[in-house]
Amino acid sequence: MKAKHTYLYLLLFVSGAAFADDTALTKCRTLPDAASRLACYDAIPTGPASAPAPAQTVEKNFGLKPVAKPATKPVEETNSIESTIVGDFDGWSSNARIKLANGQVWRVVDGSEAYLPGATNPKVKIVRNMFGTLFLKIEGTNQSPKVRREE
């Protein structure tokens, strides 16, 4: 009995995809010439074509709160970006603002503090963990403050 229901559900889900573009199929079916009918079937799109989002836009918007957009195309997300901190950097404290070379400004939002003497233009990597939290990994230290993008 269970197997019968499983096959019924499977048939139900598969049949929905088969009749997705029924009007185009019936139009092609009515063509009398075999060559034109074949060309008509070949012209039917099999799925929505989507162009990949430019990498520059993805990096530019990294860390900003998502803006509500129409759900037409999913936006490609990256899990990390790399840059450098502009000028001398001697550490951070709670609520410190950190400006990167790419123009982004990030704020330390956890209570961590660190002192890094003599760091000039250190390389940084901002990484998103599996929960969506952003951490700033700075060259020369094993500490990573939790950050939020401001600009």
Top pLDDT among 118 and 14 is at 118
**Mean pLDDT over the full length of the chain:** 80
Position 58 scores a pLDDT of 67
Asked whether the whole model's pTM tops 0.75, one would answer no
- Please check the confidence at residue 67 and state whether its pLDDT lies above 60: yes
Is residue 19's pLDDT more than 60? no
Structure tokens at 28: 């092609």
pLDDT tens readout for residues 85-124:
988 888 898 899 999 999 999 999 998 898 888 888 899 9
Question: What does the domain layout of the chain look like in residue ranges?
Answer: 2-43, 55-64+77-149
